[in-house]
Structure formats: C-alpha cells, structure tokens
Amino acid sequence: MDIQSLPKAVLHDHLDGGLRVATILELADEYGYTGLPAGDEDALTDWFDQGRSGSLERYLKAFEHTVAVMCTEAAIQRVGYEAGIDLAADGVVYAEIRFGPSLHMIHGLSREAAIEAVLDGLAVAQRETGIVLCGIAAALRHDTDSEEVVRAAIPYLDRGLVAFDLAGPEAGFPADDHLAACQLARDAGLGLTIHAGEADSAASIWRAVARCGATRIGHGVQIAGETNFNGQTITELAPLARRIRDHRIPLEVAITSNLNTSAFPSAPEHPFGALYRSGFNVSINTDNRLMSGITLTDEYELAAATFGLGPDDLSAITVNALEAGFGDWPTRRRLIDDVVRPAYARAESSQAETSDNT
C-alpha cells in the first residue's frame, strides 16, 4: 500500500511548527535574526528534532525560533504558502492549519495583519495545487488575550478562517479560564477545538467539552485513562469516555508528537489503535511537522504498521477527519465521495489481489 499517494486529511497542524529549515535560515538572514541555535541546514534540522524533548514544556520552546523569523507579513505569507505546497506534495487533500495571531505582535504586526498574511499564503497554495486549506486562529491558555484573538478572527470567516483554538501548556491553565472567548467564538459561528488531554488528565477534556463547548479536541489521548485500557485493548468506559465516544466528539490524535512529549513510552503502548477499534472518532495528525520530523504520510504509515490498519481502516479514519472538519461541507463531501473512498477502495482491491497472487 503506497500511503504517500493516497489522499489524506489533517485537522491538527501548527503553522509555526512546520516551517522548512531552509526557509528559517533564509528568513533569519533576511531579517537579521541572530538567535538560531545552529547556522547550517543539517545542524539546525537536528536541533529542531524534539524527539528527545521528554515533555510538552520543553517541546514548545523550539517555537521561539520559528516565531522569531515569521516577523513580517511577507514572511508569514511565505510560510503559509509553503505549508500548503508541502502538504499537497504529501498527498493531503484537506488541511486545517492553526496559528497564533498574537505571537506576531512582538514584531509590531496587528493580529488582523497576521491573519490576513496566513490566509493569503494558504489561498495561493490552494489555487496552485487544488488542496483545500483552512485556517484556525489560536490563543494560548497562559495568556489573557483570547477574546481579542476571537474578535480579530471573526471578520475572516468568509476568507478561509474556520475555527478558534486554545493551545499551549495545559497544567495549571484550565480551558474554562477562557469561557468568554469560547462563547464569543461559538456565537460568531467559528468552530471550536481545544487542546486537551494531551499532557494533562482527562479532566482537561471534560472542561473543554462540558464547560467550554468544544466540538473537537486537540489530542485527547488521555481519555484512555477513563477506560480499562490494558495497553492494547479497551474493555470498559467511564461516563466521560462514553460521552466522548457516543457523541462522536472528534479527537485530533498526533502519535509521534505524543511520543516526543513522553505522553506514552512507545508507539505500541499508544492508545490510538484501541480508541479507533472501540469506536472513538479519531483522526491522524502531524501536530508539528518540523519539531517531530515527520510528514502526514509518516503518521499514517506509523499508525498502519503499529496497529495493523489496512486501506479500509485508513479510509474510515480519513473520512472521520473530513466529516469533523470545519470547512465548507459540500467541498468536504465531494472529497469523501469522489476522492477518498474511491482511492482507498482501489488500494484495498490491489492489496487483496496481491495477497491472492502470493
């Protein structure tokens, strides 16, 4: 099964976590940023590899350098454009890219200018490749400007910005500190996804869903703690886990990122396979392609190899992602019916023929 050539969808991909290393070096040189920890592409690629970070907090420190070079509208637009081009080259047909508008205010930009620059870059990549690209504006849990982020985002609902997100460290920064921002986003018609259950307990997921009204959860893998998960299978569900499963609340799972931050010790011990087979609404995501040194194809291949997933499973997971998306529904439905299901059906048929011939 050639996963790279199959159509894929990603719901959880951070713009400032997916820059090309060559672009970082060029932008640093262009804008005079001297804080990079290495000056050549190989060494800087190795430095950005956060596979050994061991915690979410250390993993997040690498973003200081990517944000530092995204310091003008032209730079941000370039990064948005290249993200779309790279994802399209990887066989991605639908992507929601999230970014923090406030992070670029340290360079003197307004939130609105940063949002426009990202959306402009995504729009050019979409025209050139045919990939469907949407933006998600994110605020950070440990900051106090989430309402301002939502207000800046609302005017761009018809320009490709589809949702609001809360990101950043979970521990000590509960999502319901931002209830007003979440309510404002929902009232305006923005989708609401919240990072929860990544590094903190399942109680974080409860706050995101029950208190804030999130309809999607970023990561959410700690929901396994609300089940009888023996490392391979799930046999019992506590009330919160039943609610997440039965209400079909999408979990934006990023296996490699979870391993990088030591949420789980190894891929076979990750609950993704058990969650999928127990009926949870899971999708496969990159989180941060640069910091984790991955592509979405890599994540699909890891999930397939680790949990024994075939083309029919990957098709179902990709459909889950498209159905959970916040973008235009007729477009997503077209991708499901005309692109995803036929491609995976052909892959399943080809795999069956190969098996019969051997």
Nearest-angstrom CA–CA distance, 5 and 35? 38
Tokens 């005017």 belong to 155
Residues labelled as active-site residues: 198
Tokens 């199959």 belong to 6
Cα→Cα distances 206→17, 164, 169, 280, 348, Å: 27, 18, 16, 16, 38
Nearest-angstrom CA–CA distance, 183 and 178? 9
Using alpha carbons, select from 209, 249, 243, 214 the residue that is nearest to residue 226. Answer: 243
> DSSP readout, 251-306?
EEE-HHHHHHTTSSSSGGGSSHHHHHHTT--EEE--B-HHHHT--HHHHHHHHHHH
| Sign of torsion over alpha carbons 111, 112, 115, 121 | negative
The H or E element containing residue 135 is strand 132-140
The H or E element containing residue 188 is helix 179-188
Contact 334, 9 (CB under 8 A): no
Which residues, including other chains, have CB under 8 Å from residue 355's CB and lie 6 or more apart? none
Which residues, including other chains, have CB under 8 Å from residue 208's CB and lie 6 or more apart? 166, 175, 194, 196, 197, 214, 217
| Sign of torsion over alpha carbons 222, 3, 49, 287 | negative
Nearest-angstrom CA–CA distance, 159 and 156? 5
Nearest-angstrom CA–CA distance, 130 and 150? 28
* Number of alpha carbons in the 13 Å side-chain half-sphere of residue 228: 3
Which residues, including other chains, have CB under 8 Å from residue 108's CB and lie 6 or more apart? none
